[in-house]
A and B are shown apart, each in its own frame.
Chain A
Amino acid sequence: MRIGGSLVFDLHQSWRGLRINTMCNALSKAQERESFKSDEEGFMDRFALTQAERALVRARDFTGLLEAGGNIYFLIKLGAVTGQGLYRMGARMRGETYEEFLATRNVPQSV
């Protein structure tokens, strides 16, 4: 199901995205965040990501990761460890720069 162009995270998406979300879930631990930063490819090996999934992670393609079954709340952990906070992720989903996105907000100082 889509609502306003956004995929709804259902069992179909959750099953598809299980590898991606399992990897992102590990990033809730500080030690795992360090593992990811020091060896991203080795980290993806551990979670058996497919070649297509790896390419999406390397490209920080959050729209693609969502389509592949990533859940936004787990992708936020990947965003955090790669220096892309939620608002930067969202700006890319909208096809805008971060600055362009902030300019659309009621109180952009509340970041």
Chain B
Amino acid sequence: MARIVAGIGTSHVPSIGGAYDRGQTETPAWKPLFDAYIPVRQWLKALQPDVCIMVYNDHGADFFFDRYPTFAVGCADQYAIADEGFGTRALPAIRGDVAFSQHLCQSLVYDEFDLTICQQMAVEHGFLVPMHLCFDPTDTGWPVASVPIAVNVLQHPLPTARRCWRLGQAIRRAVDSYPADIQVAIVGTGGMSHQLTGPHFGQMQADNDQDFLDRMERDPDSLTQLTHQTLMNRFGVEGIELIMWLVMRGALSTTARKIHRHYYAPMTTGMGMITFEEHP
């Protein structure tokens, strides 16, 4: 039977991708961020997940407001690298696991999540930055297959924090009922605090970010009760992305153990990371 082995919450700030592509992982400004993920990659390499479920949001690279899904799940054997308006990053294409995706979609829909099922999907920084923070690509591609799950965090009304948590619980049920003996990692991405419009552009809330990380570890249920307005007041309008971390946390058991935690706030977004491991 399949099982979830790891959960990761991480920011997906696009400038991290720029620094990675320019080879700036060792510069004084970026080393604190990139160094924090070295043990995460080693840990994941040892755990050897077969599939990574990446919960992220598209930022206008592959989805547009002519028709906008609340939850969109990839159901293909490969996902292209999208052009967000700056050209296409030189990263290997993302390998899918179509059989697992099909099972996941079927299980989630029958669990009353009315998904948009995507047999063609291109992924961008919301997906790619966590991908290369958590896994090292090789000449033959990525060490895991992936399932992209895109969440609407752009156009209100958004799914509630509790709905995201419940999606995570339904993902766990889907994994638990998959007959193949595979190991699954799930990543919730986005945030932390950031404000990208208006007179408070660039405002970060480091104390609130640290409190979110504390609650992710000890009291995630309290986060599911927060309204969008409260979340935006605490983390900025764009910081609402943090609801995607709750999908990941909702997919974990109550006995999952925290392994890594990091926070860095260099520029305009609180860059946070927390990881959990499930006991066999």
Contacts and interface: CB of A to CB of B under 8 A. Distances in A.
A36 B171 CA distance: 43
- The winner among B65, B200, B229 for most chain A CB atoms within 10 A is B65
A73 B86 CA distance: 13
A33 B15 CA distance: 21
Given A11-B156, A28-B60, A74-B60, A106 B265 contact: yes
Nearest to B231: A3
Contact of B83 (A29, A86, A89): A29
A5 B65 contact: no
A96 B190 CA distance: 27
19 contacts: A1-B229, A3-B233, A4-B233, A6-B236, A9-B154, A10-B155, A10-B157, A11-B157, A18-B65, A28-B82, A71-B65, A77-B85, A80-B85, A89-B201, A93-B197, A94-B200, A107-B267, A108-B267, A111-B15
Contact of B61 (A6, A7, A28, A94): A28
A63 B198 CA distance: 7
Interface in B231-268: 232-233, 236-238, 265-268
Q: Is the interface of A mostly helix, strand, loop or mixed?
A: helix
Contacts of B155: 9-11, 14, 71
Q: Number of contact residues on B: which range applies?
A: 35 or more
Q: Number of contact residues on A: which range applies?
A: 35 or more
A11 B84 CA distance: 23
